[in-house]
Amino acid sequence: MGRPLHKLHAPESSCKTVCVVGAGVSGLVSVRELLREGHQVTIIEQRDGIGRQWLYDDGHGVQSSSIYASLRLIAPREAMGFSDFPFYAKVVSDGDSRRFPSHREFLSGVTETEETFDAVVVANGHYSQPKLPAIDGMDTWRRQLHNQSYRVPDLFRDEVVVVVGCQESGKDIGLELTKVAHEVHLRINRPAVEAAEGIMGAGLGKALAKHANLYLHPQIDRLQADGRVVFADGSCVVADMVIYCMGYS
């Protein structure tokens, strides 16, 4: 007798059961591509919905977002969409039609994408471990926080605030605080005069001229028990709060 014929089929190893951790934007892309390849995908997310960092909250949860209330995108819509799902402005009364919209507008686009995919993209992201400087005295100094925990400026009304870092979040938060704080002292990575006149000068120069309560300083040398923040040039200020806008590890 001849050998029985066998039906050809793809090997079982070609279909994997995949666990995706983190329901953020990169997770959405990953899930879509995995499903296209025929894999079985399970998504695990610690938060209550999709969006990961873009899911704004009040900052009191165990797994909270790093988004502050006034944050807007620094990249235009054209760069934030996907080939199959462009990030168009919505023609609705509560939408944000600006080319550089708010985080809420971006989250709404992510949510709609999840519904279209019928799955959630999962990724644990890289905005969860705050980066902090090593400053003499910071272990025992009074009120300090990383911008991951910052949400709204009202908590700092009439206070003297030192903002450490002058990248996007540092400039955003520093300028926002000038509306309510008594003084805002922005720590930058170069001498104050050089920064005001150099490559960062156009924006910072205008900000200094517009806000009489905004000051630029060099690196912090130490934090003292009496509340003083001492800078590398020997100047100092008695502050109520230090906010670290140093990014993430």
Highest mean pLDDT among 51-60, 101-110, 126-135: 126-135
pLDDT tens-digit map of 157-200: 999 999 999 888 898 899 999 999 999 999 987 654 455 555 45
Q: Alpha-carbon distance 154 to 139, whole Å? A: 26
**Same-domain pairing of 18 and 91:** yes
In a domain, 226, yes or no: yes
In a domain, 43, yes or no: yes
Q: Write down the pLDDT at residue 243.
A: 96
**Same-domain pairing of 158 and 95:** no
Q: Write down the pLDDT at residue 123.
A: 62
pLDDT confidence bin for 113, thresholds 50/70/90? very low
Structural domain boundaries enclosing 235: 144-244
Q: Write down the pLDDT at residue 63.
A: 54
First to last CA, the chain: 68
pLDDT tens-digit map of 144-165: 999 888 889 999 999 999 999 9
Domain total of the chain: 2
What mean pLDDT is predicted for residues 22-51?
77
Pick from 15, 16, 19: which is nearest to 43 by CA?
Answer: 19
**Same-domain pairing of 155 and 111:** no
In a domain, 249, yes or no: no
Q: Alpha-carbon distance 133 to 245, whole Å? A: 10
**Same-domain pairing of 79 and 156:** no
Q: Write down the pLDDT at residue 209.
A: 82
Q: For residue 175, what is the domain's CATH number?
A: 3.50.50.60
**Cβ atoms 154, 233 nearer than 8 A:** no
In a domain, 126, yes or no: no
Q: Which two tokens stand for residue 148?
A: 């991951």
In a domain, 229, yes or no: yes
Count CB neighbours of 77 within 10 A. 19
**Same-domain pairing of 42 and 91:** yes
Whether the pLDDT of residue 139 is over 70: the answer is: yes
**Cβ atoms 157, 184 nearer than 8 A:** no
Whether the pLDDT of residue 4 is over 50: the answer is: no
Q: Write down the pLDDT at residue 11.
A: 42
**Same-domain pairing of 82 and 176:** no
**Same-domain pairing of 153 and 102:** no
Count CB neighbours of 112 within 10 A. 13
